[in-house]
Amino acid sequence: GAVVSQHPSRVICKSGTSVKIECRSLDFQATTMFWYRQFPKQSLMLMATSNEGSKATYEQGVEKDKFLINHASLTLSTLTVTSAHPEDSSFYICSASRERESNQPQHFGDGTRLSIL
């Protein structure tokens, strides 16, 4: 159980394009989802916390207008990179926590490798 699906796994697109990444909890309800960014051989950097039915909470330094997050249901959160540029190229990972299981670990998606040409 506790499967998180992230799609797409790889995106290559031109500069100026907007890219949407989906994160789904397949077999549980996730009131909270997290979006991370990871550069090669570095740690995961939390970008934002996504709560179902409310606005996302962004970490300091993360542009809200650049990285749009929507958490419309208990099983789906989306990250849209708007007007992407080469510097947005990175590995993006989502994770989800089960509802009411504060002592449970986050369950991670397999990540999305975004390449902006």
Q: Are 63 and 78 in contact (CB under 8 A)?
A: no
Among 44, 62, 68, 74, binds another protein (CB under 8 A): 44
Shortest Å distance, C-beta 55 to another protein? 16
Contact characters 73-102, another protein, x per CB under 8 A: ------------------x-x-x-x----x
Among 5, 49, 70, 80, binds another protein (CB under 8 A): 49
Closest by CA to 33, choosing from 79, 95, 85, 115, is 95
> Residues with Cβ < 8 Å from 53, sequence gap 6 or more?
71, 72
Q: Are 55 and 35 in contact (CB under 8 A)?
A: no
52 near another protein (CB under 8 A): no
Shortest Å distance, C-beta 77 to another protein? 13
Give CA–CA dist 6/23, Å, rounded: 5
103 near another protein (CB under 8 A): yes
